[in-house]
Amino acid sequence: MELDKSFAVAFAGMSAQSERLKVIAENLANADSTAQTPDADPYKRKIVTFENVLDRSLGVETVRVANVKTIDEGFGRRYEPGHPAADATGYVKTPNVNSITELMDMREAQRSYEANLNIIDAAKSMLGRIIDLLHG
Amino acid sequence: MAIDVNTAINAYANANRIASGAAPATGAGTGTGFAKLLQQAGAGVVDALNKSEASSLQAVTGKADLAAVTEAITNAQVALQTVVAVRDRVIAAYQDIMKMPM
């Protein structure tokens, strides 16, 4: 049944978006995680990429997280002599996490999740209507 | 327009086949074939309910995603509703026939 397939696709989308939100939470939580030694890198921002995957049993294209990529450039610098990770000039490398970008991403994940929820709602009410018709 | 009982039974059988994802048959159905189909549909519902129960248990122990549980439960709910609706219609049709004056 086609509407059953929409359920499967939408639920896959919701799972993918939950995973994306998890990565965003990690980024935000570690926005201040610096290294412990001067030559080590601070927390590196992660981003998720999605890919379409063919569900052969249903014959539909669902979505899943392809991989979680680590970005290892664009660190900030903060002058803080005495910090365990401060180099000879007194600068500490800060993570390449921008809270505003992460918040934007979070909002997008939230909206995508809601969109998939709405698909489920719509499919469910369509199925409900046709079953009502069957009841007579 | 003459509609015999077999035509009606056939239509129900086809409806059931479509519901279970198979191609509708064009040949003449028999009473026993329809009973078998109902049995299959019933088994399908029991299967869906078992799946939903299994994933609910997994969710309670923290092993399953809430979305997966919702999916299983929704599938079971829809399958059960469909079978109940078909059964109601069949019983209604049967009662209509039984109420006919001899």
ipTM of the complex: 0.71
**pLDDT of B62:** 80
**Residue B28 C-alpha, separation from nearest chain A C-alpha, in angstroms:** 22
Whether B24 shows a pLDDT value over 70: the answer reads no
pTM for the whole thing? 0.74
Q: Tokens for B2, please give them.
A: 């003459």
How confident is residue B40, by pLDDT bands cut at 50, 70 and 90? Answer: confident
Largest Cα–Cα separation, chain B: 62
Mean predicted confidence (pLDDT) in A67-90: 91
How confident is residue B1, by pLDDT bands cut at 50, 70 and 90? Answer: very low
B74 with A128: Cβ contact below 8 A: no
Report d(CA B46, CA B43) in Å as an integer. 5
How confident is residue B75, by pLDDT bands cut at 50, 70 and 90? Answer: confident
For β-strands A76-79 and A91-94, DSSP reports them as antiparallel
Amino acid at A69: K
**Residue A4 C-alpha, separation from nearest chain B C-alpha, in angstroms:** 7
Report d(CA B56, CA B49) in Å as an integer. 10
**Number of domains, chain B:** 1
Domain containing B49 equals 5-98
Tell me which chain B residue has its CA closest to the CA of residue A134.
Answer: B85
Whether B20 shows a pLDDT value over 70: the answer reads no
Report d(CA A66, CA A120) in Å as an integer. 23
Pick from B6, B16, B5: nearest CA to B84: B16
A11 with B81: Cβ contact below 8 A: no
B78 with A11: Cβ contact below 8 A: no
Find the CB nearest A135 among B68, B70, B88: B88
Q: Which residues contact B65 (CB under 8 A, 6 or more apart)?
A: A15, A18, B59
